Amino acid sequence: MALDVPPEVPPEVPFVVFQDVWLAYNNRLPRENSFAVEAINLQVRKGQFVAIVGPSGCGKSTFMKLTTGLRMPSKGRILIDGQPVTGPLKISGMAFQAPSLLPWRTTLNNVLLPLEIVEPYRSNFKARRKEYESRARGLLHKVGLAGYEDKFPWQLSGGMQQRVSICRALIHEPKMLLLDEPFGALDAFTREELWCVLRDLWLEQRFNVILVTHDLRESVYLADTVYVMSKSPGRFIVRKEVDLPPMRDLEITYSKEFIDIVHELRGHIGALRQPKLVAAPQGVTSSEPPQ
Ligand SMILES: Nc1ncnc2c1ncn2[C@@H]1O[C@H](COP(=O)(O)OP(=O)(O)O)[C@@H](O)[C@H]1O
Ligand SMILES: [Mg+2]
């Protein structure tokens, strides 16, 4: 009789790996032991939604530049999708605080822009324009912008412009979406609307997301793992798994479990802001060590 042995499952290779990554912005700074980010260790599974929170200037955007290959580390190693990062990545899409749409292009043409300038899409853009257009229309529909395809950026609200910017980041179907404070300039209600838009897209398409934010509620609502960064030089000091159901609606933000997580993270940030209370920089202040 055949033994009931489970088939061997190959160990899952993490999608993003940072191994003891340090970055100084020029060659002189390492000699002075001055780094923008220090000793960053991170492992992100495929399809995970990770948020990185920390005070202004702590190195969040620097972390993003390292993740996209726009900056090479001074020390350490970064692997994305099993490959060492050696230059700017094509498998990611990015969106920032400013939607930075081209004012002379319609919504649809702003979303299509990356396909017009980045290979391999650029070479076949004319031939496949119809297909790309229908992909762009599909995305715009998903984020609630059906009917706005032919409007110009100045005819859209700030929240609508940010929706367009997210569609533009996703048009080439990236494996990873990098968001650097994308909702920072929006009012609280619009921000919450866009949280839901982003969560729905992620639940449907399961690309990896790395979201950088200084909004704790945003990080807990959206992410399944939150990393807290210390003040400059940036280190990860806390890693928190958000143990909430994946299908979240805004009601959850008023629940005790949600508020407790936000409160706990706030405690770590609070401690960072009072120098006398700060533990030694290496100290991991959570029961869950950063990976
Ligand atoms: N291009 C740069 N050249 C030199 N220093 C920089 C550069 N960009 C950022 N820094 C410095 O690195 C640190 C982290 O900055 P940044 O990553 O932008 O922080 P955050 O995004 O968390 O606000 C800051 O001290 C900042 O002054
Ligand atoms: Mg920044």
**pLDDT at residue 231, as a whole number:** 82
**pLDDT at residue 277, as a whole number:** 44
**pLDDT at residue 269, as a whole number:** 80
Task: Tell me, in angstroms, the distance from the centre of ligand 1 to residue 269's CA.
Answer: 19
**pLDDT at residue 291, as a whole number:** 53
Q: Is the CB of 67 under 6 A from ligand 1?
A: no
**pLDDT at residue 181, as a whole number:** 94
**pLDDT at residue 284, as a whole number:** 41
Of residues 192, 185, 148, 184, the one with CA closest to residue 167: 148
Q: Is the CB of 58 under 6 A from ligand 1?
A: yes
Task: Tell me, in angstroms, the distance from the centre of ligand 2 to residue 124's CA.
Answer: 35
Nearest CA to ligand 1 atom 27: 57
State the DSSP H helix or E strand holding residue 124, giving kind and residue range, or none if neither: none
Task: Tell me, in angstroms, the distance from the centre of ligand 1 to residue 88's CA.
Answer: 19
Q: Are 80 and 13 in contact (CB under 8 A)?
A: no
Chain-centre distance of CA 107, in angstroms?
23
Strand pairing class (92-96; 176-180) = parallel
The arrangement of strands across the sheet holding 225-229 comes to 92-96, 176-180, 208-213, 49-53, 225-229, 236-241
Mean pLDDT by 10 residues, the chain (291 residues): 57 88 84 86 95 92 94 95 90 90 98 94 95 96 96 97 96 94 92 94 94 95 95 88 92 96 89 54 46 53
pLDDT tens-digit profile of 249-263?
999 999 999 999 999
Of residues 53, 87, 84, 85, the one with CA closest to residue 70: 87
